[in-house]
Chains A and B, each alone.
Chain A
Amino acid sequence: NAGVTQTPKFQVLKTGQSMTLQCAQDMNHEYMSWYRQDPGMGLRLIHYSVGAGITDQGEVPNGYNVSRSTTEDFPLRLLSAAPSQTSVYFCASSYSTGGETQYFGPGTRLLVL
């Protein structure tokens, strides 16, 4: 099993550009989520999904969109990038709710100029 994969590993954007961060898992997990991690901050939940077709907002959803058309994939879209979105983004999945072990992808490092 590949586990949780994320692409790209690194990305540089200009302010106002849009992009999609990809996340996929091959463990047949129902629950997937996106976090961002900034220096001096804990991981903060952006959006999560409890199954295909179901998504909800986390703690810091503004400026991001998600969709979940399949169990495997959970892309995160930045609509109009801002320097404040410079961060490391982690995708995670688990079998059911957040009370289970969460498996994290390797992260995407994003720099917005």
Chain B
Amino acid sequence: RKEVEQDPGPFNVPEGATVAFNCTYSNSASQSFFWYRQDCRKEPKLLMSVYSSGNEDGRFTAQLNRASQYISLLIRDSKLSDSATYLCVVNRGGYALNFGKGTSLLVTP
């Protein structure tokens, strides 16, 4: 089983829609969780960290379920500029970040 698994998509949604991505991780000892965004042919950039209590940043909400070992990202009121690949990232401690393969989102007019 891969350490971090994501549905690759693509998710095609119209502007204004709400879309949710899930990610599962296999190592129960994982300590830190993140969502990164990667635009086509660009470097990944941190979108948000994911905290146990859940956290929100504008239109983006991230949640962590340690018991079920999954992380979610909810995007409300999708914009064309949200089109990108979203990477789920898990740190099981120390220096090793494990990246999911990413979920592709395309927001259409």
Contacts and interface: CB of A to CB of B under 8 A. Distances in A.
A48 B32 CA distance: 18
B4 A42 contact: yes
10 contacts: A35-B99, A42-B98, A42-B99, A42-B101, A90-B43, A99-B31, A102-B97, A104-B45, A105-B43, A106-B43
A12 interface: no
B87 A97 contact: no
A42 B87 contact: yes
A107 B42 CA distance: 7
Interface of chain A, main secondary structure: loop
Contacts of B87: 42-43
A61 to B, nearest CB: 13
A50 interface: yes
Interface residues of A, number: 23
Interface residues of B, number: 23
Contacts of A41: 101
B43 A97 contact: no
A74 interface: no
Nearest to A38: B101
Given A42-B99, A98-B95, A106 B42 contact: yes
Contact of B44 (A45, A56, A90): A90
Interface in A54-113: 56, 58, 90, 97-99, 101-102, 104-107
A53 interface: no
Contacts of B99: 35, 42-44
A18 B42 CA distance: 25
A64 B32 CA distance: 28
Contacts of A101: 34, 46, 49
A103 to B, nearest CB: 8
